[in-house]
Chains A and B, each alone.
Chain A
Amino acid sequence: MSSRFPNAEGAALALVAALALALGLGGCNREARQVRGSPLPDGGLAGVSPTALHVGGPRPFVKDPRAAQYEENAYHIGEGKRLYEWFNCYGCHAAGGGDIGPPLMDDTWRYGGEIEQIRASILEGRPNGMPSFAGRIPDTQVWEIAAYVRSMSGHVAKDAAPSRGDQLGNPPAATQVDRKPMGALTPPEPAP
């Protein structure tokens, strides 16, 4: 070591460079893209409730094992952003700010803000206008749209959040939104 690097400074520099290289290479395999989805029906919505109001207090919430694959994955969230436009979520929710449908980019969730609950809202439909998309959108894509909708209020890490979209009058990129801690299963605030 001492023959190649005459002083400790050089050795330290080499060490830092090696560490930076290792870190950089580690970034090459940040996440896995699972483009395929399941060829079999993904199963129902058992155990997913749109509300925290239950007789005898809140029920324990069990995460769907498939959720982890979608909710913090940049590829799936990006695909969800594309599908959000393709399936005309824009028609009612605009680019997330809400129109004749409620806004999706705030942190108020009438029917729950967990990815499983958002998926259930898309599949089942909700009162006052949200149609049911069950059977119309393949299950993988519903997961992707749910992951994107969840990301709108800034709960997704910056390295996974989608960047600015192509539309005019676009809301700020999700990477620019302040992240807030999500209160799981928060019931809506009562109307004044």
Chain B
Amino acid sequence: MRRVATAALCLLLAGCAGVQSSMDVAGRQAGDIKGVWTLMLWVCGVMYLLVLAFLGWTLWRARRPLADAPPLADSALSPADRPMQTALGGWMVLIVVGLLVLTFGSFLVDRRLAEAGARADLNIRVTANQWWWQVEYQHPDPSQGFLTANEIHLPVGKTAKIELVATDVIHSFWVPNLGGKQDLIPGRVNDITLTPTRTGRFRGQCAEFCGLQHSNMALDVIVDSPAAYEAWRARQLASAPPPVTPGQARGLAVVQTAACANCHQIQGTEAMGKTGPDLTHVAGRRSIAAGALPYSRGALAAWIADPQGIKPGAHMPIVQLSPADLNGVLDYLDSLK
């Protein structure tokens, strides 16, 4: 019995850690939110225990008749009512104080969260689509901005202001380790600010039901040291490397002339579609299809050959490619690190 209880407790506590947990704080905003959460836990916990204690006491205490008391006149208080009145008065004071503490605490945190975006070190625009995330790193100089998908890299200790827009339906952006939750609403620009405090890989997930593949709409957030972030940024800014092997050359030709280029973009080639994820450095990402599969050449082959088997309803269609063409496309895409 004890072993079962220990195991259950371990499992329960293990839920508090990990790449997608608001308890395992890795950002300033998530820390603030966890502060409110902890305050709420303590205030509500103490009140709950008090209620249970009084309930227990009333059950434990035997009923006693009031011996020798004269019958009560109308509207007169029984001697037993006095302590009850005092207790209820105290209870009301406790509730008012508890609510005030909670309101004030949440006001302070809300204010901090709202002010955080004023001192942003970098600006990112995240566009939610059914069912993937477009990530645009913005820069005053347009040649220093770039597009990627389903993966956000952030330098540790820097504040990123993330603009949130949606193209089709309402989605919600949530990276629990780093910050709160914010909806992406078509026709409206929302924003959220993230200041990561330690390096690591974290997972975000669409938090508003958005259709068939809502559950397969995840994104990776990778918090790097400033040097690693700058190196990543420099790689992303570069155009796609030109094909080297004959297979890669065939792949590029297929990507540009078949259906791929109608939706996808590869910087430095003639593939300039805007409606699908940017593939300029697709092989450098952790996952494909918004977290549906971890990246590998084989997974990419499975995805291209049968996207509807992996993510039914997704907007990626089956493109009829000959095996040789598919191999070429894989050779080429796998070279886009």
Contacts and interface: CB of A to CB of B under 8 A. Distances in A.
Contacts of A82: 315
Interface stretch (B61-69, B176-184, B304-312): B304-312
Given A86-B263, A86-B275, A39 B306 contact: yes
Contacts of B313: 33, 35
A138 B321 CA distance: 10
A139 B317 CA distance: 9
A49 interface: no
Contacts of B263: 86
B320 A139 contact: yes
Nearest to B262: A136
Nearest to A75: B313
Contacts of B186: 166
A37 B318 contact: yes
A36 B308 CA distance: 5
B259 A140 contact: no
Contact of A87 (B257, B262, B305, B318): B262
Nearest to A41: B320
B275 A138 contact: no
B320 A40 contact: yes
Contacts of B299: none
Given A35-B313, A39-B306, A137 B318 contact: no
A58 interface: no
A40 B320 CA distance: 6
Interface string A14-54: 00000000000000000001011111111000000000000
Given A39-B305, A86-B275, A87-B262, A138 B312 contact: no
Contacts of B320: 38-42, 138-139
A82 to B, nearest CB: 8
Interface centre among B257, B306, B317 (most CB of A within 10 A): B317
Contacts of A140: 317-318
Given A35-B308, A40-B320, A41-B320, A136 B259 contact: yes
A135 B317 contact: no
Contacts of A141: 317
Interface in A72-127: 82, 86-87
Interface residues of B, number: 18
B120 interface: no
Contact of A135 (B257, B305, B306, B308): B257
Interface string B285-316: 00000000000000000000110110011010
Contacts of A87: 262
Contacts of A137: 259, 262
A192 B186 CA distance: 47
Interface string A128-146: 0000000111111100000
Nearest to A166: B186
A74 to B, nearest CB: 14
Contact of B258 (A33, A38, A41, A136): A136
Contacts of B319: 138
Contact of B318 (A38, A135, A136): A38
Interface string B199-218: 00000000000000000000
A135 B317 CA distance: 13
A138 B257 contact: no
B275 to A, nearest CB: 5
A33 B312 CA distance: 10
B262 A36 contact: no
B262 A39 contact: no
B259 A138 contact: yes
Interface string B92-114: 00000000000000000000000
Given A135-B259, A136-B262, A138-B259, A37 B317 contact: yes
Contacts of A42: 320
B86 to A, nearest CB: 57
A158 B216 CA distance: 32
A184 B308 CA distance: 34
A141 B240 CA distance: 28
B312 A35 contact: yes
Given A33-B313, A37-B317, 4 more contacts: A38-B318, A39-B320, A86-B275, A137-B262
19 contacts: A33-B313, A35-B308, A35-B312, A35-B313, A36-B309, A38-B320, A39-B318, A39-B320, A41-B320, A42-B320, A82-B315, A87-B262, A135-B257, A136-B259, A136-B262, A138-B320, A139-B320, A140-B317, A166-B186
